[in-house]
Structure 1
Amino acid sequence: MRRTLWFLLRLGLVIALAVWVAQRPGTIRLDWQGYIIQTEVGVVALALLALGVVAYALVRLVLLVWRSPRRLGAGRRTSRRTRGYQALSQGLLAVAAGDGPAATRLATKAEGLLNEPALTLLLSAQAAQLAGDEALAATHFTAMRERGAMLKRPDMAFVGLRGLALQALAAGDTQGALALVREAGALRPKARWPLVTQLDLQARAGDWTAASATLDALTSVKALPADTLRRHRAAVLVERSRAAEAGGALDQALSLARKAHDLEPGSVPAAVQAARLLAGTGSARAATRALEQAWRLTPHPTLAVAWGRAGEKAGDAADPLARVKRLEALVALDPSVPEAHVALANAATEARLWGLARGHLTRALTARPSARVYRLLAAVALAEHGPGAEERGHLASAAKAPPDPAWVCGTCGGVNAAWGALCSHCGGFDTLVWRVPGGTAPGGTAKGADAETMGFLPPPEPPAGDGTGGGLARLSARLPSFPLGGTLGGTLGGLLPGKRSPGAS
């Protein structure tokens, strides 16, 4: 549009000049070296116009000849760059499709056509991984790390470090992976991936103090939602409290447990840990208050068990009748919660109050059918009347009843007998959720775990090798990877000329 307007403006000026000359006729006489030239003004104007056109054409021709080599080279470079990016994009599609030979071929082609080491080395590394050549992939990732440092390209070095860290995780090299993750975090202090991976590794190694410091860093950069950070911090504080208790530092253990409970009042493990330590110091009322606060937010069978034991002193013999009275107060808080009735029925069974136990189990069964309640009814029938039809009937009903909730890992789906900050199957940090295995409904009692011992068992044993063995392969499988899921595309987008990858990875 602008070019059209500019052309019309120039044409209008020429026409206006021609009209102006035509309205002013006259004769021009030139006397030079004995020659006399005389002509009309219009003829002179046309001659000058023709001379200007010829001069303009000659200048354009000279410039065209002068610039041709440069334009030819630029055209070849543009064509080469276009073909390089085409090979690069086709290589990415081959990686996504899992076509290793095509990815290798296209990576080689792109590397020969493009002067973009960040992109071509990453594609070559991915192609090598598809071909199963981890050593060659490590060579490419190392080249990215070194050339990124040399070229002052932190984004390029970051991607190389990430690839090397994931390889170290897959190989079980915990210390090497942690060092690489820390180096990547130094390049991008606000990136999410290094901090989250560092937290996972520290938790897996049981270094809860370092994990707490990493959580501070995650909080400062807001890399995770506030609720998630608060839950993680409470889990770390509970584990630190357990470690302090195991080391004999009971005051420190109590302080950490109370911090965890204050941070997450509805956290079952935090409330149980704080209540148990408070009860051990003779603060039965404070222990009961902590349990009541958590119970109102999250009625859980472990809290009911802790409530029944809150008034007992360490070393003294348990008084079943006193426990029944304490649990009657818990039932009175909210008679509609079946977990309270189950806990009271357990205490009544210990006190050999068969009628009371049967009555509360029936109320729990009315509120929510549960396989465990039927099993407890069968146990009461066996203890009171011995083997018979009543026991067999309850056991048959238990086989048909809905499964009981348990601590289920949200990552691997494994069922854990008791809560721990680490899943006892895959070693995932803070992944346990109280729900029905394979379902989502909370409530009830844990499948395969007695409510009298839940929450009072020692922390689950760490995965095989204490976090330094083959279990790390499962960790690497849970961490973000390059080939699929858009991660590679997002990384490459941040490395393209004129762009930088975002702060959070």
Structure 2
Amino acid sequence: MIRALWFLLKVAVVIAAAIWLADRPGTVSVHWLGYAIEAPFWVALLVTLAALGIAALGYRLIRGLIRTPQRIRRHSRARRRERGYRALTQGMVAIAAGDAPTARKMARKADGLLNEPPLTMLLSAQAAQLQGDERAAKQYFQAMLERPETAFLGMRGLLTQAIKSGDRVEALTLARKARGLQPNTPWLLGTLYDLEAQSGDWAAAEGTLQQAIQAGAIPTEEGRRHRAVLLLERSFEAERRGRADSALSHAQAAHDMMPGFVPAAVRLARLQIAADRLKPAAKVVERAWRQSPHPELAEIYRSLVSSYDPLARVRLFQKLVRQAPDSAESHLAVAQAAIEAQLWGEARQHLNRAMEIGPTRRAFRLMAELDRSERHDEDAAKDWLAKAANAPEDPVWTCNSCGAVSHNWGGLCGHCGAFDSLTWKAPTVAVPVMEPTDIPPALARPATV
């Protein structure tokens, strides 16, 4: 409707103009080069308008002819770019499908069609890695370092290669360089923290850990545990350097952060005993026992109450049972103290309770010791020892990464170098390991206390 009205309006304007011109007749005279031309005004106006139309049409035709080569080149580039992106897409699909030959073919095709090295070099590097050609992939990644827009991608590729090959020293160097390019990248902060921790650079790892938590790369609760482990390792380092005060303060900070973390409680209690602070050490053990009953805590507590008579020691160990009455460790600790005090009935009562909660080799061995000490019954003792041999393995510090076992806790696994991987559980595969606090020479770094 609107378009029809607009058309009628234009027709009305034309008619009005024609009427206006008809009411005002006149002639137009032109004298040029000895010629005289006279025509009615309306004829001259129509000729002028026709000339202007022909001139405009000629201008557009000439301009179109001039621009035709440019349009052909632009169209060719667009087609070429479209083919290049199609090849790039097909290459990405081939990477996802694990088709290395097609991926490399599409990478070469995309490189020839596109003038975008960041995309084509990345595809070429991934295709080379898919074919197992790490040397070629490394060359592509190194070439990417030469361009500011691709430097971080190249650094990431080289970092991934170094980690994959087990070259943690090179990986740490590359991770620190990459942080200089992108300081707040979550995955990079998490990787850098892990590498610094594995290298034994505890102070640097602690700073990176805080950044990683703020960036969301590491959950807050997990970060608390990692920081407690770092503080314990700094405590060990301070002790090796002869700085007892720093060793104690780091251990205290770790325990305050995670009161139920057994290694922190054990470390702090031992340092307090060394400093002749026996009552605070006993409180540390009792506080930790409430959350995590553990044989190492019982051993420390036994050393704390060693100066008391046997009956008093049993009464003191009863505190641990009150802290965690449903733990087998509580009853085993009291049972051992009762055997030493020759309280046979109480020892047997607590051992039976421990076995109800969960039979272990230690419980069977203590039963054997009880029958041998109370009744001098070697046959019964042998029966208990036979049951102990067939019972499940007692828990031990076991690496979650490689399954290696250790009798002592440490921040690093002595077998695979994994950080904060030792947990207290029954082992599945026994692997000979170094002491967990011994950092492999290839990873060693000067630590700051």
TM-score band (shorter)?
Answer: 0.7 to 0.9
Deviation at 1:354, TM superposition (A): 3.8
Residue of structure 2 equivalent to 1:295: 289
Change in CA separation of 1:372 and 1:112 when aligned onto 2, cut-off 3 Å: farther
- Which amino acid is the alignment partner of residue 460 of structure 1? P
Alignment of 1:339 with 2:329, yes or no, is yes
Query: What is the CA-CA distance between 1:48 and the residue it aligns to?
Result: 8.8
Tell whether the 8 Å contact from 2:206 to 2:227 is kept in structure 1 after alignment: yes
Shift of 1:200: 2.5
**What is the letter of the counterpart of residue 328 of structure 2?**
P
Distance 1:34-1:269 versus aligned 2 partners, 3 A rule: closer
SS for the counterpart of 1:388 is: helix
Paired with 2:254 and 2:285, the residues of 1 have a C-alpha distance of: 13
SS of 1:147 mapped into structure 2: coil
2:413 matches 1:423? yes
Contact kept in structure 2, 1:234 and 1:261, CA below 8 Å: yes
Shift of 1:110: 1.5
Equivalences for residues 18-417 of structure 1 within 5 A? 18-22=11-15, 25=19, 27=22, 30-32=27-29, 33=36, 35-37=38-40, 58=58, 60-148=60-148, 153=149, 156-219=150-213, 221=215, 223-312=217-306, 323-370=313-360, 372-381=362-371, 384=374, 385-388=376-379, 391-392=382-383, 395-396=386-387, 399=390, 405-417=395-407
Give the CA deviation at 1:339. Answer: 1.9
**Structure 1 CA distance for aligned equivalents of residues 406 and 90 of structure 2:** 45
CA RMSD in angstroms comes to 3.7
> How far apart in 1 are the matches of 2:183 and 2:41?
85
Which amino acid letter does the alignment assign opposite residue 98 of structure 1? G
CA contact (8 A) 2:395 2:425 kept: yes
The answer on whether the counterparts of 1:370 and 1:398 sit within 8 Å (CA) in structure 2 is: no
Alpha-carbon distance between aligned partners in 2 of 1:420 and 1:79, rounded to the nearest angstrom: 62
Task: State which drifts further: 384-393 or 162-171.
Answer: 384-393
Distance apart, 1:62 and its partner CA: 4.0
Secondary structure at the residue paired with 2:297?
helix
SS of the counterpart of 2:276?
coil
Counterpart for residue 477 of structure 1 = none
Return closer, same or farther for 1:70/1:235 CA change in 2, 3 Å cut-off.
Answer: same
Report the alpha carbon displacement of residue 145 of structure 1 after superposing the two structures with TM.
0.9
**Per-residue deviation, 1:144:** 0.7
Q: Which string of whole-angstrom CA distances, capped at 9 and with x for unpartnered residues, describes residues 81-106 of structure 1?
A: 22222222222222233322222222
Q: CA deviation at 1:352?
A: 4.8
Which structure has the greater CA radius of gyration? 2
Superimposed CA distance per residue, residues 247-278 of structure 1 (whole angstroms, 9 cap, x where no aligned partner): 43322211111011112222111111111111
What is the Cα deviation at residue 229 of structure 1?
2.1
Asked if 2 retains the 8 angstrom alpha-carbon contact of 1:83 and 1:113, the reply is: yes
1:123-170 per-residue CA deviation (whole Å, 9 max, x = no partner) reads: 22222222222222221111111223xxxx2xx211212222233334
Higher relative contact order (CA 8 A, sep 6+): 1
What SS is found at the alignment partner of 1:289? helix
| Aligned partners of 1:407 and 1:434 also within 8 Å | yes
State how far apart, in whole Å, the 2-side matches of 1:170 and 1:34 are: 94
One-letter code aligned to 2:261: S
Change over 3 Å in CA distance of 1:21–1:201 after alignment to 2: closer
Q: Could you tell me which residue of structure 2 aligns to residue 432 of structure 1?
A: 422
Find the aligned partners of 1:121 and 1:207 in 2 and give their Cα distance: 35
Q: CA deviation at 1:20?
A: 3.8
User: Conserved in 2, the CA contact under 8 Å of 1:241 and 1:254?
Assistant: yes
In structure 2, the partner of 1:16 is 9
Question: Contact (CA 8 Å) 1:291, 1:303: kept in 2 or not?
Answer: yes
**Structure 1 residues 252 and 25, CA gap change in structure 2 (3 angstroms):** closer
Q: Amino acid of the residue matched to residue 9 of structure 2?
A: A
Q: Secondary structure of the residue that 2:145 maps to in structure 1?
A: helix
CA separation in 2, counterparts of 1:467 and 1:136? 27
CA distance in 1, matches of 2:438, 2:166: 15
Q: CA deviation at 1:373?
A: 3.1
Structure 1: how far apart are the matches of 2:357 and 2:5? 93
**Amino acid corresponding to residue 163 of structure 1 in structure 2:** G
Cα distance in 2 for residues equivalent to 1:70 and 1:130: 41
Q: Contact between 2:414 and 2:440, CA under 8 Å: does it hold in 1?
A: no
Task: Please say which of residues 85-94 and 364-373 is displaced more in the overlay.
Answer: 364-373
- For residues 279-304 of structure 1, what are the alpha-carbon distances to aligned partners after superposition, in whole Å with 9 as ceiling and x for unaligned? 22222211122222223333344333
Give the Cα separation in 1 of the matches to 2:380 and 2:283. 43
Structure 1 pair 88/351, CA: closer, same or farther in 2 (3 Å)? farther
Could you report, residue by residue, the CA deviation over 1:403-447 in whole angstroms, capped at 9, with x for unpaired residues?
Answer: 655544444454544432123343211133445668xxxxxxxx9
**Unaligned stretches of 5+ in structure 2?**
30-35, 445-449
Matches of 2:258 and 2:208, distance apart in 1: 19
Letter matched to residue 155 of structure 2: L
Deviations 1:383-412 (A, max 9, x none): 5544436753684487466x6555444444
Count of equivalent residues: 430
Q: Give the fraction of aligned pairs with identical amino acids, expressed as a percent.
A: 42
Deviation (angstroms), 1:237: 0.9
1:131 corresponds to which letter in structure 2? Answer: Q
Please give the alpha-carbon distance, in whole angstroms, between the structure 2 residues aligned to 1:435 and 1:59.
Answer: 89
Which amino acid counterpart does residue 388 of structure 1 have in structure 2?
D
With 382-391 and 358-367 compared, the bigger mean Cα shift is at 382-391
* Offset of residue 310 of structure 1: 3.1
Distance 1:79 1:321 in 2: 93
Letter in 2 for 1:365: M
Structure 1 portions without partners, runs of 5+? 439-446, 449-457, 469-505
Q: Is the 8 A contact 2:335 2:347 kept in 1?
A: yes
Q: Do 2:414 and 2:435's aligned partners in 1 also have CA atoms closer than 8 Å?
A: no
Distance change in 2, residues 1:98/1:416 (3 Å):
farther
